[in-house]
């Protein structure tokens, strides 16, 4: 029986851990799964509602670290997590994605000699100004089992000198959650509540520091989005960081006068209900690039690079950067075209990645 501490901290972790914990509970003779929530995200809309929507059992440990600078947040997670590892003596600690909770918990384990499995290993944007890229490189360097979502990630790891037997291509666990919940999301009232049923609309998410912490960049993005809004309503569930910066930079009036509709962050099922009916998605999120690819919805990524190139090669994603002209042109060309995107679902994005992750852990 393998005792596993499964780590969650921030919003994009919850949909990755949910199918893994469900599978471990199903294989009860093989696994004893425990959940540790670091508390990196703590608002009802950023955390609790995801436990409910995704049916994740209540955490066995809640570290309640909250927000702070990167150094302080990472250090607080490490300080609070170490005694949990010492007390529980797990066979494995499983971390997902690339947030501060991921590297903080992996680092604690590496120092204590406890084995770490990293789900979503090997993704690289090659942009070291991105905090997530630092978290990815460091987590992969100290993990014992590297579970990848696509074969380009395997190649990245091999180029960095990781031994072949540590790397296992298992597919995309985020897509497990998407397929498992798609039907359920149809009964959400999100679209209806926003009066969007049967209408064309775009969905926007923005929260990367490089896009929303710099006034000039954010302002340029808004220029493009306001113009896109003249053709199609742009529904914008706002991350707390972005909301604070809209107020700080004095953009509230400009947004209010446009066809960009600011709404509170949505829960998992409500957000799926919203984006799955969209004509177009504009985003700087990593996960949404994958979800739109799996559903064949056109996606414009408002970044200069992506760690998920497969969503461009096979999927619906286009990298448009932050240049307002380029963003507008790409959006208008999608809105004017009536062609299907003809996207392919990448290999092993089939809803069964969690099963392969569990088997990989057992095989170690």
List residues with catalytic annotation. Answer: 207
46 in contact with ligand UD1 (CB under 6 A): yes
Q: 213 to each of 37, 74, 246, 362, how far by Cα in Å?
A: 27, 20, 10, 43
Treating both helix axes as pointing N-terminal to C-terminal, what angle do 353-363 and 11-26 enclose, rounded to 10 degrees?
70
241 in contact with ligand UD1 (CB under 6 A): yes
Q: Which residues of 277-307 are buried (b: 16+ CB within 10 A; e: fewer)?
A: bbbbbbbbbbbbbbbbbbbebbbbbbbeebb
* Inter-residue long-range contacts of 157-161, CB under 8 Å, 24+ positions, other chains counted: 157/121, 157/122
Please report which helix (H) or strand (E) contains residue 96, including its range.
strand 92-96
* Smallest separation (angstroms) from ligand UD1 to the CB of 160: 21
131 in contact with ligand UD1 (CB under 6 A): yes
Cα separation of 220 and 248, whole Å? 16
Contact pattern for ligand UD1 over residues 313 through 352, marking x by CB under 6 A: ----------------------------------------
* Smallest separation (angstroms) from ligand UD1 to the CB of 330: 22
**Are 249 and 271 spatial neighbours (Cβ–Cβ below 8 Å)?**
no
283 in contact with ligand UD1 (CB under 6 A): no
Contact pattern for ligand UD1 over residues 185 through 224, marking x by CB under 6 A: ----------------------x-----------------
Residues whose CB is less than 8 angstroms from the CB of residue 41 and which lie 6 or more positions away in sequence, other chains included: 9, 10, 11, 47
* Smallest separation (angstroms) from ligand UD1 to the CB of 97: 7
Q: 175 to each of 57, 151, 221, 353, how far by Cα in Å?
A: 20, 16, 29, 8
12 in contact with ligand UD1 (CB under 6 A): yes
240 in contact with ligand UD1 (CB under 6 A): yes
Instruction: Among 3, 30, 32, 42, indicate the residue that binds ligand UD1 (CB under 6 A).
Output: 42
Report CA 261 to chain centroid distance, whole Å: 23
134 in contact with ligand UD1 (CB under 6 A): no
Q: Which stretch binds ligand UD1 (CB under 6 A): 196-204, 234-242, 270-278, 339-347?
A: 234-242
Instruction: Among 26, 28, 43, 248, indicate the residue that binds ligand UD1 (CB under 6 A).
Output: 43
Residues near ligand UD1 (CB under 6 A) are 10-12, 40-43, 46-47, 67, 98-100, 131-132, 207, 239-241
């Amino acid at each position: 029986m393998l005792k596993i501490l499964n780590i969650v901290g921030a919003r994009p972790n919850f949909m990755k851990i949910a199918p893994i914990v469900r599978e471990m509970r199903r294989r009860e003779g093989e696994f004893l799964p425990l959940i540790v929530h670091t508390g990196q995200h703590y608002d009802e809309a950023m955390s609790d509602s995801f436990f409910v929507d995704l049916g994740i059992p209540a955490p066995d440990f809640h570290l309640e670290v909250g927000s702070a600078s990167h150094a302080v947040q990472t250090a607080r997670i490490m300080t609070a997590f170490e005694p949990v590892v010492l007390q529980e003596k797990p066979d494995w600690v499983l971390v997902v994605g690339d947030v501060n909770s991921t590297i903080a918990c992996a680092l604690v384990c590496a120092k204590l000699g406890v084995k770490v499995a990293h789900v979503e290993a090997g993704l690289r944007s090659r942009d070291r100004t991105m905090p997530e890229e630092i978290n990815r490189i460091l987590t992969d360097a100290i993990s014992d089992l590297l579970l990848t979502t696509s074969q380009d990630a395997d190649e990245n790891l091999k180029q960095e000198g990781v031994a072949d037997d540590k790397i296992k291509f298992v597919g995309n666990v985020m897509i497990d959650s998407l397929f498992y919940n798609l039907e359920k999301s149809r009964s959400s009232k999100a679209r209806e509540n926003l009066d969007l049923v049967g209408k064309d609309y775009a969905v926007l998410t923005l929260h990367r520091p490089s896009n929303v912490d710099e006034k000039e960049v954010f302002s340029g993005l808004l220029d493009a989005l306001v113009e896109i809004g003249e053709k199609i309503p742009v529904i914008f569930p706002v991350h707390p960081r972005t909301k604070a910066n809209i107020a700080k930079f004095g953009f509230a009036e400009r947004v209010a006068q446009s066809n960009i509709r600011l709404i509170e962050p949505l829960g998992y099922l409500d957000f799926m209900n919203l984006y799955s009916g969209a004509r177009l998605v504009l985003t700087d999120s990593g996960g949404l690039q994958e979800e739109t690819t799996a559903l064949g919805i056109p996606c414009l990524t408002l970044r200069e690079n992506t760690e998920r190139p497969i969503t461009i090669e096979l999927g619906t994603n286009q990298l448009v950067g932050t240049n307002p002209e380029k963003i507008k042109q790409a959006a208008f060309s999608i809105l004017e075209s009536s062609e299907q995107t003809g996207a392919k679902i990448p290999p092993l994005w089939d809803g069964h990645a969690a099963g392969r992750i569990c088997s990989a852990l057992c095989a170690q």
